[in-house]
Amino acid sequence: MKGLNVGCGRDIKNGFINIDLVKLPGVDKVVDLNTFPYPFKSDSFDTILCFNVLEHLTSLEKSLEEFHRILKSNGVLMLKVPHFTYSGAFTDPTHIHFFSYNTLDYFVLGSSDFNYYFQFGFSKITKKISFGKKFALWNYIIEPLANKFPALWENTPLRIFSAEEIHI
């Protein structure tokens, strides 16, 4: 298995090529993810990890297209992005994009009425809304309900119970 850990920061993964914009200890390659194309051959990786990175990139579309290009046909792209109800999504001045439960459906073949905008598409997607539970015990109840009924949770005042991120 060949894996790519995108925007790894200090979270170095063994068995992966660890890339980041900054040359930190353990970073294998410095890559500016806002420069296209990415410096990897097509169909290079079985797994791509991209945790808390997409919200910082200037072109969500081009970045996902590049991940699609460098991912093998049966490969897995694992993403974590901040949910728009999370206060940290707006606190960080380097965040450019904000995500709802269905944002990335646009990039999945046949899952959105709008994915005709793009010349690529992923074959399927699984999603999970993740709530912080450290000081909010009620989130143990809210999280499973929000994942079962995401539209109800996001489109009503129930979203006052904010999520932290979406795992895709």
Q: Per residue of the chain (168 residues), what is the pLDDT tens digit?
A: 799 999 999 999 999 999 999 999 999 999 999 999 999 999 999 999 999 999 999 999 999 999 999 999 999 999 999 999 998 888 999 999 999 999 998 898 877 666 677 888 888 899 999 998 777 788 888 999 999 999 999 998 988 888 999 999
pLDDT at 51: 97
Residue with tokens 């459906």: 105
pLDDT of residue 154: 93
- Residue whose token pair is 């999504």: 89
The pLDDT of residue 65: 95
Residue 21 has what pLDDT? 96
**Is residue 67 within 8 Å of residue 77, measured between CB atoms?**
yes
Q: CA–CA separation, 11 vs 91, rounded Å?
A: 22
Q: What is the pLDDT of residue 135?
A: 75
Structure tokens at 107: 């990039």
pLDDT of residue 137: 83
pLDDT of residue 87: 86
Which residue, 27, 11, 162, is CA-closest to 88? 162
pLDDT of residue 61: 94
- Which residues contact residue 86 at a Cβ distance below 8 angstroms, ignoring those fewer than 6 apart? 162, 163, 164, 165
Beta bridge partners of 51: 80
Would you call 49 helix, strand, or coil by DSSP?
Answer: strand
Task: Look at residue 112 in the predicted model and tell me its pLDDT.
Answer: 65
Q: What is the pLDDT of residue 115?
A: 67
